[in-house]
Amino acid sequence: MSKQVIKTDLAPAPIGPYNQAIIANGFLFASGQVALNPATGELELSSIQAETHQVMKNVLAVLNEAGLTIDHVVKTTIFLSDMGLFAQVNEVYGSYFSGQYPARETVAVKGLPRGVNVEISVTAVVQL
């Protein structure tokens, strides 16, 4: 099995021993993205909506670097700091998809990196 590392400066650089994404066996496995603006290095935490938009922009940057779009996504995982944020995050998240939504789970966790409220990871197929 061969692996292809995906790396882009248009999404935050990893802060540990991992890659932004890996392509293997016809799938892209993307690491979780938080609301770190790669241009400024600052977190976008002005509102949960703005935070979620930045997360999704980072997800799209990783997908685009691999030559993929949001339509290639087959599975997402959303991590929330508080399930009370679900409706607001879900509204923003849903605006990035049309038609066939991917499979998904959403979980509330005790803590997320850098004190953020939302982190999203995706799995995508390389060919539609």
Record the pTM: 0.96
User: Residue 116 class from Cβ within 10 Å (0-12 exposed, 13-18 middle, 19+ buried)?
Assistant: buried
Residue 23 contacts residue 70 (beta carbons within 8 Å): no
Q: For residue 6, list its beta bridge partners.
A: 21
Q: State the total domains in the chain.
A: 1
Q: For residue 36, list its beta bridge partners.
A: 43
Q: What is the pLDDT of residues 66-92, one digit of tens each?
A: 999 999 999 999 999 999 999 999 999
Identify the sign of the CA torsion 36, 28, 21, 110: positive
CA distances from 10 to 21, 25, 45, 87 (A): 13, 25, 19, 28
Boundaries of domain holding 24: 4-125
Phi, psi for residue 87 in degrees, rounded to 5? -60, -45
Q: What is the pLDDT of residues 20-61, one digit of tens each?
A: 999 999 999 999 999 999 999 999 999 999 999 999 999 999
Q: What is the pLDDT of residues 117-128, one digit of tens each?
A: 999 999 999 998
CATH of the domain at 71: 3.30.1330.40
